A and B are shown apart, each in its own frame.
Chain A
Amino acid sequence: MRFRLTFQKTPAMRFTGHLDLQHTWMRALRRAGIALEHSQGFHPLPKIQLASALPLGCTGTAEILDIWTEAEWQPAQLEQQLQAVLPPGIKLIQAQQIDPSAPKVQVALRAQEYLVELPLETDAVALDQRVRALLAVAESMAERRGKPVNIRPLIQELQISQAELRVTLFCRLSAQESATGRPDEVLAALGIDSAACQIERTRLIF
């Protein structure tokens, strides 16, 4: 049976990379007694797919994982088994049974939304101007592994808001194969040190 799990990656795990997150899930599933289907072949691997790698340092409020279980489970029962054994870095929101032939999560993904809490010293007015300026241009170059990339077409939405003293930046970035926006690059284009921000991925759009 195929299930889609929606979960939070909390601050305790924000420095856990993609592969280590997958291992963390596999250990949690074993603790919960949920056996996974394995691939065929010489080195059978458990069938488990994370929708999208979250940049190191970010938290996520609606991350997606697909798993294929050996046994039949009720979604509610699966949730209950998992809740009891998850590490502090993961909070399960829900488990849904999905069509086993539905496309891979990684392929179905279209865009992702981030909410960035900016440092207290941020000047909201000046930043707003920089946001408008960035949106006004057709090209904004960044570098990935030594190669130039135009990140502007990857930005679908970008806006700031202010509540009391905290300035927050919202962005929706493209997330398709070979066209995935990165929040740290957007922040760099706005002249913000991403290490001083709290970056949260809030939505994966299919």
Chain B
Amino acid sequence: MPISLTLSEKIDRLLPRVQKPGRYTGGELNSIVKDWQQIQTRVALVFPDIYDIGLPNLGMAILYDLLNKRPDTLAERCYAPWVDMEALMREHGIPLYSLETRHPLADFDIVGFTLPYESLYTNVLNTLDLAGIPLRSADRNEQHPLVIAGGHAAYNPEPMHAFIDAFVIGEGEEVIHEIVDVYQRWKAAGSPRIDLLTALAGIPGVYIPALYSVQYHPDGRVSSFTADHPAAALPIQKRIVGTLPPPVTNFIVPYIEIVHDRVAIEIMRGCTRGCRFCHAGMINRPVRERPVAEILAAVDASLQATGHQEVALLSLSSSDYTHITELVDELAKRYTREHIVISLPSLRIESFSVQIMDKLKGSRLGGFTLAPEAATDRMRGIINKPVSTQQLLDTARAINSRGWTTIKLYFMIGHPSETLEDVQAIIDLCQQVYRVGREVAGGRAKVHAGVSTFVPKAHTPFQWTACDEPESIRKKQDMLRSQLKNPNIKLSWTDTKDTQMEAWLSRGDRRLSEVILRAWQSGAKFDAWQDQHNHETWLKAFAEAGLDPAFYAFRPRELDETLPWDHINAGVRKKYLLAEYKNSLLGVFREDCREICHACGIVPLFNAQANEDWFCPLPANREVQA
């Protein structure tokens, strides 16, 4: 075995001393161990949070599968060690290592980070540091791995620009191969590192921050963004795959319990609803659906390969999948008798969803989740989510009468121009839904209200709006807490400190690299974990960098301002986002774009890749037998 025995033995001696050592052993079913010596290009895929959270990540599973299918390439996994393991690794001089062959990360050719959300940024720095790789891209040379990153958070790459050599904007299925090809040619030529970066810049969808520079106004706003190299494209256009490739089925099966012990099959990518707050709905256009036969085959193959008992069908809006009835009928026929649970998140608030779930309910009944997001018609017009109170109550009644007793409702507070009346309406609506439950299901009726806080995101119609201030949010949360005291109505909310950090980083500019670095140097990591209490550390880091956090979180942007992420083309035109922002100010609804095209710009942009799978699908035929 090509294992470095001394490192491996050292690791083995530490493992009995940490909690959940099974996070650090590897060797799981369906993990792929290739012969290190025989492989030309070695890629480490890093999810910068703990194993329990990282393992089920679908994006990483897709890249792992694709890269390992190449005979000339291996991909191994790495997750952030929890603080107990990290302390022991630092104490004993053990570098961060891959799970498959326990090679130090620094020995790989390419280190690729998955960045689904901003609270992982300090963990990226911590991971690089534990691996002994220089934190700053500028400090790396030909001996160091190429450090790349992709994922939803990478659509505004600027805050992390100093640490990542190359960002992938958009979908990774095709571009990952092009990156490996370019890397192999560069390595064979033995050229200097800058040649690798400029060659990568030639790949559509790859953004090399080092090849651009930013100028600022005296007040801190961006004045201009320039490409400093002929190879540097401007704007950098996101990548998509025209047709979704067949889904991954040989999922790695962990030996320990993780957050989602299940098979996940993506049935559709993108969403046509156009909710104005929704980052995923804007950046994942166009809609592309997988054929029913392909999904059924994938469910079957993945259950065979894993033995899992649960299948989650993933999409941003399951009810909108054109062939949902056909798919669900077939899945129900095949699996509900075999103690297999099929879950279908993101269902619309309508009785159709209840009919769909009713077919799948089998022997086990969990809660039924709906996401009204807002509770007044005014606010529904602002965010473009047209669900009436009556529609919600009718749906709740249908859910309760089919045997479910727990209804989970997701709301957001802090939407633009929100008043206390809008919050009061959330309280009233939760109570109304509970009363319907009492009528139909009696004393067993329960409501879970998950009330998160809205954070404006880049590339959405709300990218110009200010984030609601913490004092205002706390007042609204106090209101919710004091009026939703019924023991059968469970309330959960987001800590305002977590919201602020997300707000700084999601619309930050390049100057935030310095803040992230200082925050990490002062001990910030695992920012997604509330028990880590890093807020004061972050405020101190802003002060040291001479920046004002309120500038990023609470400042409404000028409509003609150059936004720090304007050089990234996420597929929807800025003109469209602006029109939608103006519609929100007027409270004007825009229809689902399956009904009518609003010219967001995605079709002309990808005309060359267009095919009938994604070409702005027609309304679904949603007739179903009750």
On chain A, the residues within 8 Å of B27 by CB distance are 11-13, 88-89
Please, how many angstroms separate the alpha-carbon atoms of A87 and B253 in the complex? 9
On chain A, the residues within 8 Å of B244 by CB distance are none
- Chain A min CB distance to B257 (Å): 6
A:26-81 near B, CB below 8 Å: 26-31, 35, 38, 43-44, 56-57
Q: Which of A12, A20, A27, A44 contacts B25 (CB 8 A)?
A: A12
Give the contact stretch, choosing among B280-288, B299-307, B399-407.
B299-307
Q: Tell me the nearest residue of chain A to B23, going by C-beta.
A: A15
Task: Decide: A16 near B255, CB < 8 A? Known: A30-B307, A87-B29, A88-B29.
Answer: yes
B256 interface contact, C-beta 8 A: yes
Q: Which of B256, B338, B363 contacts A16 (CB 8 A)?
A: B256
B17 and A195 contacting across the interface, CB-CB below 8 Å: yes
Q: Which of B14, B28, B256 contacts A87 (CB 8 A)?
A: B28
B16 interface contact, C-beta 8 A: yes
B309 interface contact, C-beta 8 A: yes
A104 interface contact, C-beta 8 A: no
Please, how many angstroms separate the alpha-carbon atoms of A181 and B97 in the complex? 36
A15 and B17 contacting across the interface, CB-CB below 8 Å: no
On chain A, the residues within 8 Å of B261 by CB distance are 23
- Chain A min CB distance to B249 (Å): 13
Please, how many angstroms separate the alpha-carbon atoms of A153 and B363 in the complex? 48
- What bracket does the count of chain B residues touching chain A fall in? 20 to 34
B13 interface contact, C-beta 8 A: yes
Q: Which of B15, B256, B304, B339 contacts A20 (CB 8 A)?
A: B256
On chain A, the residues within 8 Å of B253 by CB distance are 24, 27, 87
- Chain B min CB distance to A20 (Å): 5
Q: Which of A30, A35, A85, A89 contacts B255 (CB 8 A)?
A: A89
On chain A, the residues within 8 Å of B256 by CB distance are 15-17, 20
A27 and B306 contacting across the interface, CB-CB below 8 Å: yes
Task: Decide: A31 near B21, CB < 8 A? Known: A13-B255, A16-B255, A38-B339.
Answer: no
B361 interface contact, C-beta 8 A: no
Please, how many angstroms separate the alpha-carbon atoms of A14 and B27 in the complex? 11
Interface string of B521-554 (1 = CB under 8 A from A): 0000000000000000000000000000000000
- Chain A min CB distance to B581 (Å): 48
B15 and A23 contacting across the interface, CB-CB below 8 Å: no
On chain B, the residues within 8 Å of A87 by CB distance are 28-29, 253, 255
A:77-100 near B, CB below 8 Å: 85, 87-89
On chain A, the residues within 8 Å of B22 by CB distance are 15-17, 20
Q: Tell me the nearest residue of chain A to B15, going by C-beta.
A: A15
On chain B, the residues within 8 Å of A56 by CB distance are 16, 21
B:427-474 near A, CB below 8 Å: none
- Chain B min CB distance to A17 (Å): 7
B:358-385 near A, CB below 8 Å: 363-364
- Chain A min CB distance to B528 (Å): 24
B307 and A29 contacting across the interface, CB-CB below 8 Å: yes
B567 interface contact, C-beta 8 A: no
Q: Which of A19, A38, A88, A194 contacts B16 (CB 8 A)?
A: A194
A137 interface contact, C-beta 8 A: no
On chain B, the residues within 8 Å of A194 by CB distance are 16
Q: How many A-B residue pairs have CB under 8 A?
A: 74
- Chain A min CB distance to B300 (Å): 12
A31 and B305 contacting across the interface, CB-CB below 8 Å: yes
A30 and B21 contacting across the interface, CB-CB below 8 Å: no
B:219-256 near A, CB below 8 Å: 253, 255-256
A57 and B255 contacting across the interface, CB-CB below 8 Å: no
Q: Tell me the nearest residue of chain A to B307, going by C-beta.
A: A27
A126 interface contact, C-beta 8 A: no
Q: Tell me the nearest residue of chain B to A31, going by C-beta.
A: B307
B34 interface contact, C-beta 8 A: no
A31 and B255 contacting across the interface, CB-CB below 8 Å: no
Please, how many angstroms separate the alpha-carbon atoms of A196 and B12 in the complex? 8
Greatest chain B CB density within 10 A among A19, A30, A194 is at: A30
Task: Decide: A195 near B13, CB < 8 A? Known: A15-B22, A15-B255.
Answer: yes
On chain A, the residues within 8 Å of B308 by CB distance are 27, 30
Please, how many angstroms separate the alpha-carbon atoms of A15 and B254 in the complex? 11
- Chain A min CB distance to B601 (Å): 45
On chain A, the residues within 8 Å of B17 by CB distance are 195
On chain B, the residues within 8 Å of A14 by CB distance are 25
Please, how many angstroms separate the alpha-carbon atoms of A28 and B309 in the complex? 11
Interface string of B25-53 (1 = CB under 8 A from A): 11111000000000000000000000000
Q: Tell me the nearest residue of chain A to B33, going by C-beta.
A: A88
On chain B, the residues within 8 Å of A29 by CB distance are 307
Q: Tell me the nearest residue of chain A to B21, going by C-beta.
A: A15
On chain B, the residues within 8 Å of A11 by CB distance are 27
On chain B, the residues within 8 Å of A15 by CB distance are 15, 20-22, 25, 255-256
Q: Tell me the nearest residue of chain B to A194, going by C-beta.
A: B16
- Chain A min CB distance to B10 (Å): 11
- Chain B min CB distance to A99 (Å): 27
A:161-206 near B, CB below 8 Å: 194-196
A31 and B13 contacting across the interface, CB-CB below 8 Å: no
On chain B, the residues within 8 Å of A31 by CB distance are 304-307
- Chain A min CB distance to B594 (Å): 38
B:302-351 near A, CB below 8 Å: 303-309, 338-339
- Chain A min CB distance to B89 (Å): 15
B:396-419 near A, CB below 8 Å: none
Task: Decide: A44 near B363, CB < 8 A? Known: A12-B27, A23-B257, A27-B308.
Answer: yes
- Chain B min CB distance to A182 (Å): 13
Greatest chain A CB density within 10 A among B28, B29, B338 is at: B29
Task: Decide: A195 near B16, CB < 8 A? Known: A17-B256, A20-B256.
Answer: yes
On chain A, the residues within 8 Å of B338 by CB distance are 35
- Chain A min CB distance to B262 (Å): 11
Q: Tell me the nearest residue of chain B to A46, going by C-beta.
A: B339
- Chain B min CB distance to A78 (Å): 16
Q: Tell me the nearest residue of chain B to A35, going by C-beta.
A: B338
Interface residues of A (CB under 8 A from B): 11-17, 19-20, 23-24, 26-31, 35, 38, 43-44, 56-57, 85, 87-89, 194-196
Pull 8 A–B residue pairs with CB atoms less than 8 Å apart, ordered by A. A12-B255, A15-B256, A24-B253, A27-B309, A30-B309, A31-B304, A88-B27, A88-B28
The 5 closest A-B pairs by CB, nearest first: A27-B307, A12-B27, A87-B29, A195-B16, A15-B21
Besides the known contacts A15-B25, A16-B22, 9 further A-B residue pairs in the complex with CB atoms under 8 A apart: A12-B25, A12-B27, A12-B255, A27-B308, A30-B303, A30-B307, A43-B364, A57-B15, A87-B255
